Structure 1
Amino acid sequence: MKIKAGIIGGAGYTGGELIRLLLNHPDVDFSFIHSRSNAGKPLYSVHQDLLGDTDLIFTNDLTPVQNGNLDVLFLCLGHGESRKFLSENTVAEHTKIIDLANDFRLTAQSTIGKRNFVYGLPEINREAIQSAHDIANPGCFATAIQLGLLPLAKAGLLEEVYTTGITGSTGAGQSLSSTAHFSWRANNIQAYKTLTHQHLGEIAQSLMQVSPPNGREQQLNFVPWRGDFTRGIFISSTVHCERSYEELIRLYKDFYKDQLFTMVSDVPIFLKQVVNTNKCVVQLEKVGTKLVVHSITDNLLKGACGQAVQNMNLVFGLNEAAGLKLKATGF
């Protein structure tokens, strides 16, 4: 029997990407998508690439959420809106929730009512995810940065980290703003939220989770950049490290040897390798005692919807890669 899935907040970039994945998932029956602003309209009126793929209609009726018709409910709402939605609306007790906002990612904020959200980074929390009822999906920058640094943290090799990362315009959401407008983004880049990005807390939490006992919290200095492209994240993290390049490569490949979607490259990486996939690719470069870790993801897939589906697969005991055999665009 297929899993009955629904989405709250389906009009944005993440909602649209998640719709595409669920419509093509072999084990999912996707028939409910909520949007107050688009209720009554066909999905393809907003996500025009879906013309001919589905005749589903956006709805403002929450009855399927309340009466238990859904096995899993994805929340594709703005940050802070998921907690508000769950406070104001009844979701059937058996329905599992996967939240794509940042409302429940930190351990201290992971509960609401009887629900307790598990942080959904499969590379370190696979067993907890498999036995979880509700999942807090990691942030896009957080996913790329963590996957670049986790092996070092586990080996006790992290102290102070200097990270830069550039992301595509889809990371800013679909609402029009001056810095999301094409005429502003084209041939332009800009640093933003320097050293204060909202993902820093969840990154620190995961690094401490895998660090040796009595390890101290690492200092992460992160400067994010807005890029003049639509999707993808490229991260470069610099640390002091005395280990040889050969030792570090072995460390990384051992850490990720059993992971389906995170892999280590021996040659320079580039963004198009991962765009339109659920992959994270990591590459190391070392000069003297300075190690640079590059990591790349698609912000809408491994950084959001792809990872959400990966978590759904784990929660329901499906093939972890089901619905995620996606190919990079290449050109």
Structure 2
Amino acid sequence: MIKIGILGAAGYTGGELIRLLIHHPEAQIVFANSESNAGNYVADIHEGLYGDTDMKFTADMPFDDVDVIFFCFGHGKSEAFIREHHIPQHVRIIDLAQDFRIAGNDSNAGFMTPANHDFVYGLPEINRELIANARHVANPGCFATCIQLGLLPAAKLGLINDDVAVNAITGSTGAGQKPGATTHFSWRNNNMSIYKAFTHQHVPEIRQSLRQVQGYLDAAIDFIPYRGDFARGIFATEVVRTDKPIEEIVEGYKEFYKDAAFTHYVDKSIDMKQVVNTNKALVHCDKFGNKLLITSCIDNLLKGAVGQAVQNMNIMFGIDEKSGLNLKPSAF
């Protein structure tokens, strides 16, 4: 059994991670850390877990007793935590924040990145072998995962040569559990809004992966994110200019994802409900003149966060990549 510790276990990602791991056939949660909730039952905070676990949150962090730690912190806390705490060499780390997603110091990142870190970028579709041999993995961002999975096969085909227009809408859980002016029901319901247009923090990691696959990236990724009036899921469109025939593009997409455990090219139009509550990513392409329209969708809490983190854990420990992740979508 893989012995697991969870830090920041009281938030949305912590709760979703516990939901997956308590039913994982090869995993055991040793501790779920939350100083503010220490001593409280996990199910009293994550109420969907009533009847599934009698675990309590703890303020303790017995690192010597675990094989892997999941960091479910807010952005900017992981790097400081590692500096301030001794984590044994044998303990692997999967970080769900953005702190280590960019390799080394990247002046284009838009935020400070720790220099010379050893975290592998945890997108299995392009880094499976690196993840398998990694001690530390930086889990990708939710928007970044969805958009990259739409664009990476195009990059493999060498098609990202002009600026790419990207629009994506996310559910309210993407904003985290702490209430805010743009998350409460009366504001979010029957409403849409734009935020962080062209400046979203996930753009640098998208660019990093596209450069990795295509070998270069001179084009801009013009990303406009939207807040949606639903709880979970991301639906994205990406527009790439190319004269390559759609038949060749579709063949390239299917080839790129032929061995992917959870990412699938679909021959007809896709919708978000097909992936909500699963670790799947679906991708579809259409051609309009010289414009390639790519649609991609994921569940922001699963393939966009903890589902992908568990997928990375499975790869790191050499077990079935799909273990603990055979989830059914919400059909209606």
Aligned partner of 1:185 among 173, 188, 191: 188
How far is 1:31 from its partner?
2.4
Q: Which residue of 2 aligns with 1:39?
A: 38
How far is 1:165 from its partner?
0.2
Opposite residue 236 of structure 1, the aligned amino acid is T
What is the distance in 1 between the residues matched to 2:92 and 2:218? Answer: 32
What is the distance in 1 between the residues matched to 2:243 and 2:234? Answer: 28
Question: Structure 2 matches for 1:210-289, cutoff 5 A?
Answer: 210-212=213-215, 215-289=216-290
What is the distance in 1 between the residues matched to 2:115 and 2:159? Answer: 39
What is the distance in 2 between the residues matched to 1:97 and 1:109? Answer: 20
Aligned partner of 2:178 among 175, 178, 182: 175
Q: Which residue of 1 aligns with 2:86?
A: 90
What is the distance in 2 between the residues matched to 1:19 and 1:113? Answer: 31
The question of whether the paired residues in 2 share the 8 Å contact of 1:31 and 1:56 is answered with no
The question of whether the paired residues in 2 share the 8 Å contact of 1:162 and 1:239 is answered with yes
C-alpha offsets along residues 234-264 of structure 1, whole Å, 9 cap, x if unaligned?
0000111101111111010011001110001
Asked if 1:326 is matched to 2:327, the reply is yes
What is the distance in 1 between the residues matched to 2:132 and 2:217? Answer: 29
C-alpha offsets along residues 67-112 of structure 1, whole Å, 9 cap, x if unaligned?
x111000000000011111111111211000000000000015997
Opposite residue 141 of structure 1, the aligned amino acid is F
Opposite residue 203 of structure 1, the aligned amino acid is I
Q: Which residue of 2 aligns with 1:49?
A: 48
Question: Structure 2 matches for 1:120-131, cutoff 5 A?
Answer: 120-131=122-133
Q: Which residue of 1 aligns with 2:100?
A: 104
How far is 1:149 from its partner?
0.4
What is the distance in 1 between the residues matched to 2:5 and 2:182? Answer: 31
Detail structure 1 runs of 4+ shifted over 2 Å in the superposition: 109-115, 215-218
How far is 1:216 from its partner?
3.6
For these two proteins, the number of residue pairs brought into alignment is: 325
**TM-score w.r.t. length of structure 2:** 0.96
Asked if 1:76 is matched to 2:76, the reply is no
What is the distance in 1 between the residues matched to 2:281 and 2:59? Answer: 36
Opposite residue 310 of structure 2, the aligned amino acid is V
Asked if 1:18 is matched to 2:21, the reply is no
SS at match of 2:28: strand
How far is 1:35 from its partner?
0.4
Asked if 1:202 is matched to 2:202, the reply is no
Instruction: Report the CA distance shift for 1:152/1:265 in structure 2 as closer, same or farther (over 3 A).
Output: same
What is the distance in 2 between the residues matched to 1:131 and 1:240? Answer: 37
Asked if 1:290 is matched to 2:291, the reply is yes
What is the distance in 1 between the residues matched to 2:114 and 2:57? Answer: 27
The question of whether the paired residues in 2 share the 8 Å contact of 1:73 and 1:97 is answered with yes
How far is 1:52 from its partner?
1.4
**TM-score w.r.t. length of structure 1:** 0.96
SS at match of 1:107: coil
What is the distance in 2 between the residues matched to 1:176 and 1:90? Answer: 32
The question of whether the paired residues in 2 share the 8 Å contact of 1:75 and 1:100 is answered with yes
> Which stretches in structure 2 are left out of the alignment for 5+ residues?
107-112
SS at match of 1:163: strand
What is the distance in 2 between the residues matched to 1:220 and 1:55? Answer: 46
What is the distance in 2 between the residues matched to 1:109 and 1:314? Answer: 27
The question of whether the paired residues in 2 share the 8 Å contact of 1:179 and 1:185 is answered with yes
How far is 1:170 from its partner?
0.2
How far is 1:114 from its partner?
9.2
